């Protein structure tokens, strides 16, 4: 119906951005999991670590989704119709993958 822009990966840009956030969420989750395991072995409380892990992970997803939108606009020259909605979608997807 509407042709994709020149630098939008032939219309596959939403899928590509979601994949970047997905992999980033997996790496964040693995890193925080390994760090929490070491903290539990050192004697930290599990409840505090679980809450801190969720907060740090979701904050990382917020930053990563913003960076991904910025990267798509500035580095790759993609044409995004609404950057706020794109960021919000990537944040929701990344949060779901992380959690």
The pLDDT mean for the chain works out to 85
**77 touches 13 (CB < 8 A):** no
Q: Which residues contact 65 (CB under 8 A, 6 or more apart)?
A: 21, 87, 90, 91, 94
Q: Tokens 């992970």 identify what position?
A: 57
Task: Determine the 3-state secondary structure of 26 from DSSP.
Answer: helix
Q: Tokens 């994709």 identify what position?
A: 4
Q: What is the mean pLDDT of residues 25-50?
A: 87
Poorest-confidence range of 8-12, 39-43, 48-52? 8-12
Query: In this model, does residue 70 exceed pLDDT 90?
Result: yes
Between residues 84 and 13, the one the model is more confident about: 84
């Amino acid at each position: 119906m509407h042709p994709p822009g020149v630098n939008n990966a032939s219309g596959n840009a939403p899928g590509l951005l979601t994949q970047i956030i997905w992999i980033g969420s997996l790496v964040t989750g693995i890193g925080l999991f390994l760090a929490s395991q070491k903290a539990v072995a050192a004697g930290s409380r599990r409840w505090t670590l679980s809450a801190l892990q969720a907060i740090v992970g979701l904050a990382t997803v917020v930053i990563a989704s913003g960076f991904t939108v910025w990267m798509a606009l500035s580095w790759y020259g993609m044409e995004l119709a609404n950057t706020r909605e794109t960021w919000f979608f990537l944040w929701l997807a990344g949060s779901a993958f992380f959690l």
